[in-house]
Amino acid sequence: MRMMNAIRVHAPGGAEAMRVEEVPVPRPGAGEALVRLEAAGVNFIDVYKRSGVYRVPLPATLGEEGAGTVVEVGEGVDEVRAGERVAWAGVLGSYAEYALVRAERLVPLPDEVSARLGAAVMLQGMTAHYLATSTHPLREGDRCLVHAAAGGVGLLLVQIARRRGAFVISTAGSDEKAELARAAGAHEVIVYTRADFAAETMRITGGEGVQVVYDSVGRSTFRAGLDVLAPRGMMVLFGQSSGAVEPVDPQLLNQRGSLFLTRPTLGHYTATRQELLGRAGDLFQWIARGELDVRIGAEFPLAEAAEAHRALEGRRTTGKVLLRVG
């Protein structure tokens, strides 16, 4: 029986809850593919599942995103073949040397996109894609506010928003992170540790506010974010890195200008294989043409997954955080 290393969690907790364990290499069943990983993406959803904010059956191998090479396929698989380079997001189990993935969720990698880039862009890149093109489809001249603009989603979202002709205001926690947001194309960057982002946003927009707020921070930014929306604007809450948002009385949306509020998730925006391939295909095409810059801010060996989580939770990272596997 072949064995592999995997990062496992047996009970919810802090980063120390993750353990490196030796487990059997799985065999693919019908509709599945076995992939030998080269890199795995580290995302806040992994933190939520490790800590118990999002519940998963335990013990669990963490990781929602990865890239590598198909080594074996199960019965009925025609989406991919052995030897093909692939990437995926939204399937648990990528903090390991091998992962079983439903073949319909695998996206073939073009030659121009490395496994590292594939693992870096699938979850956060497709999130940025659906936010800017589907949840609130940005139009030429729209004004948007992007929180945490130096993070993995933020840097990609700023670039895609600029591609669509939006005026981009962003927030960042330091001058270093602010420079990254500007380099990605943000028209204005607010360092929220020095300035009130709501007041600055209203100043920048001449009191008119923005059509959409893209908020992955949650508790510490949500209520003030409602105050910067123009009438009939949309609050897109897609994360909660500072904690869960307190319950909202729907009447508040009326009082602030007939606002819209949504809490989207990637799975609902890649519900079909056609949509999955379309979003990933756009990203890969932009990367191949040099039109989308994917910043890999930190890489850790698989065995140091706990340190990767600590760095992410401590807001010590910019861009994408990866685990090196192969």
Question: How far is residue 37's CA from residue 117's CA, in Å, rounded to a whole number?
Answer: 13
Give the CATH number of the domain where residue 191 resides. 3.40.50.720
**Are residue 168 and residue 180 in the same domain, yes or no?**
yes
Q: What is the mean pLDDT of each run of 10 residues along the chain (326 residues)?
A: 94 96 96 98 94 93 97 96 97 97 97 96 96 98 96 95 98 94 97 95 98 94 96 95 88 96 96 97 96 94 97 87 92
Q: What is the pLDDT of residue 167?
A: 98
The total number of structural domains in the chain stands at 2
Tell me, what CATH number does 111's domain have?
3.90.180.10
- Find the domain containing 74 and state its range: 3-123+267-324
Q: Is residue 131 part of a domain?
A: no
Type of residue at 220 = S
The C-alpha atoms of residue 261 and residue 191 are separated, in whole angstroms, by: 25
Q: Look at residue 218 and tell me if it is in a domain.
A: yes
Q: How far apart are CA 241 and CA 150, in angstroms?
A: 14
Q: Is 83 in the same domain as 184?
A: no
Q: Which one of 240, 263, 286 terminates a domain?
A: 263
Q: What is the pLDDT of residue 95?
A: 98
Secondary element (H or E) of residue 211: strand 210-215
Report the pLDDT value the prediction gives residue 225, as an integer from 0 to 100: 95
Query: Which residues are within 8 A (CB) of 211 and not within 5 positions of it... i.e. 6 or more apart?
Result: 136, 142, 143, 144, 229, 230, 233, 234
Q: How far apart are CA 292 and CA 184, in angstroms?
A: 9
- My answer on whether 151 and 105 are in the same domain is no
pLDDT at 242: 84
Give domain status of residue 135, yes or no: no
* Statement to judge: residues 82 and 170 lie in one domain: no
Are 92 and 63 in the same domain?
A: yes
* 118/9 same-domain check: yes
On whether both 76 and 10 belong to a single domain, the answer is: yes
Residues 155 and 114 in one domain: no
pLDDT one-digit tens code per residue, 80-89:
999 999 999 9
Domain co-membership, 259 together with 302: no
- Residue at 130 is within a domain: no
Q: Is residue 172 part of a domain?
A: yes
- Report pLDDT digits (tens) over 190-246: 999 999 999 999 999 999 999 999 999 989 899 999 999 999 999 999 988 888 889
Q: Is residue 92 part of a domain?
A: yes
End position of a domain, from candidates 246, 263, 280 = 263
| Inside any domain, residue 132 | no
Based on the fold, state whether residues 100 and 206 are members of the same structural domain. Answer: no
- Alpha carbon 188 to chain centroid distance? 23
Of 159, 146, 204, 156, nearest to 185 (Cα)? 159
Residue 129 lies in a domain: no
Task: State whether 222 and 299 are in the same domain.
Answer: no
Q: Which residue, 263, 290, 313, sits at the end of a domain?
A: 263
> What pLDDT score does 218 carry?
86
- 310 and 239, same domain (yes or no): no
Residue 319's pLDDT is 83
Report how far residue 117's alpha carbon sits from residue 296's, in angstroms, rounded to the nearest whole number. 8
